[in-house]
Structure 1
């Protein structure tokens, strides 16, 4: 592995090491600041390609949404795969070593049902890049398109002659995302099916294995050459792990739909406030009437009770005076 490739690897690992603490911190402390606003963690996703794993090539990618608004449909990604200094097989005749750094810029979109006033795209090529559909058959499927650039350092040998060198590539990326599983924490797992195609520039030298000397001999000096036609450069059957409570089915929405739902939410809140104010006014009015009537009845009852109490005191006084008079008369007769 060359010094330049090692520097690239150190830079990628440093970026990942810096991002991972931010992910956990954002999940704990950050909160939404408004409707359809994503937190830092919800804008990050991790991805890996099972096709490279079948070639025993470890790989990991990080994707970050450009904006925090949910109607943003642009994201940037960085993927690293490396398999180097692996044991050779068949007595040093077959080996596959590669390190690659790939950056991409994606635009996510979904198909939407249109009315009869807007023409639908019916051609195969048009349908690949158009959102217009008479009938939306896969409402949970998210499509993406974009561009990529990659740099790779490789050393490959499958037969008598091997190739080693560097390669640069740039082109387009296209694919679909399907939701797979939602965890209890809110994080989700998606399936990524896609491919990359573009132009490739290669600086490759040839070598052979000399069995007698047990060494590799270079047979052709390398020089930069551009492949004169576009070619496929990657195939993806991957998995995407998303953080936060925004799955792929809720992200990358159309701005009109997001605005309409936001306005509905605002109107609902305003209407609820009006209803609460009316209820409070009615409640206060009813309570005022009840309060006034209660004290009127209470005061009337208090006056009546006071008069009854005074009458009872007079009667009791008269009865007591009569009893005292009779007692005094009895004592005199004795």
Structure 2
């Protein structure tokens, strides 16, 4: 008795980007809405969601409603802004440098902004984040230029040297930051909470001054997105396609500085959001930066709000700063990504 050979099966065709993008963005926006709702409801004590809705619509005042509108709404909005800035900054940094491990942290940009802010606190006795936003931008810019200068090899950008240069900058600047804090108890008291990376206790007057720079960084990022696709082919190939490589790198680098500087000025140096967000989006939307950046704009806040909510839950009635939670969760991720890149 003979049997027919099995009919070969073909894999189901993958949905086109025109279909994947709306579906993925809708799912991501739903997840982001859930994270925002949890951020408004969960804290040292849990507030029912119906109370949260009534507080937001003006149907209830006093007690839990004041906690929602006065503390948790600003904290959630700042988390949304900072997460979006870091997620997009990481994607642009990886595109500009052609290095999958690039991020505001690994390039030394966060460390540069942090050192500049602590130096300003130490020298000028600043006390509010709104006062040292300019120092955060300046430190981020100097660190980015220094990392880029150390990565040049024969006139081209060397991604490996860039990662090594960023690591060296981070170690050096972190040591200098620690030295400044140890030299002054006032600087230590003022900066240690901010350096942990936190959105707790922040008010909207902290976010408003940096919002124009954050928005400008987002506009610049989306403007260079098509050129980043060509840049992934290499400088010579991109130039043969008519892409002005130097200009794209300058605009992309400026966007990363604006986004990372804004985030650090508001929330301190929050690690790994910029590194993780692009790697979580790429399996869903691919490597096209025109799709990648909108995905990171959503995934970045999802990661930050999730880490912030976890920090509130694990140490009740106290809490862990979001920067501590992201560092704890991001260290294994960095090891996995480094192993994957090495392969």
TM-score, normalized by the shorter chain, greater than 0.5: no
Q: Which of the two has greater helix per residue?
A: 2
Shorter-chain TM band: under 0.3
Q: Which of the two has greater strand per residue?
A: 1
